[in-house]
Amino acid sequence: MATLNIVKDGDEILRKKSREVTVPDPRIDTLLDDMKETMAKAGGVGLAAVQVGKLRRVIVIDTGEEQLELINPVKIKEEGVQEEIEGCLSCPDRWGITRRPMKVEVETLDRKGKKRRVKGEGLLAKAICHEMDHLDGKLFYDDAIRMLTPEELKEYEEA
């Protein structure tokens, strides 16, 4: 496994739409493994392939309670609303309040190419939606309710 460079806000690749994976293969396995290592070292909850410079519809998520690999995820269902603080490994030092569904269900492929459905609630739902936005060239602050000032972020961290 290797640690990859995380692309930062301002790089035009983050605004591009990622391509579907036709058939998962050993290159996708390697990408998934490298993305997990990169995300763990960076202290993130989720990472989309575009964030490491690969325009593929591939996501890894680790909430501490659940670990997911999503290939070509498609949102099937969402319900409820949560308004929470959100940040991004590609947008360091930027935090905002976002509106995401409380629950989400997606259809995805696993690394063997098998279709499956994944349900997420709370933090997992937020992470799935955040990373899926990356696949379409969207960043969390595009639709943020509002961005936090450095003072507000400090208050949040102290609370």
Cα–Cα–Cα angle for 43, 46, 49, rounded to 5 degrees: 115
Let me know: does 123 contact 63? Beta carbons within 8 Å.
yes
The question of whether 78 is a catalytic residue gets the answer: no
- Token pair, residue 135, equals 């696949």
Catalytic residue among 131, 152, 155, 158: 131
Residue 100: phi and psi, rounded to 5, are: -130, 160
Residue 94: phi and psi, rounded to 5, are: -120, 130
Using alpha carbons only, how large is the chain's radius of gyration in Å?
15
Could you give the residue numbers annotated as active site? Answer: 131
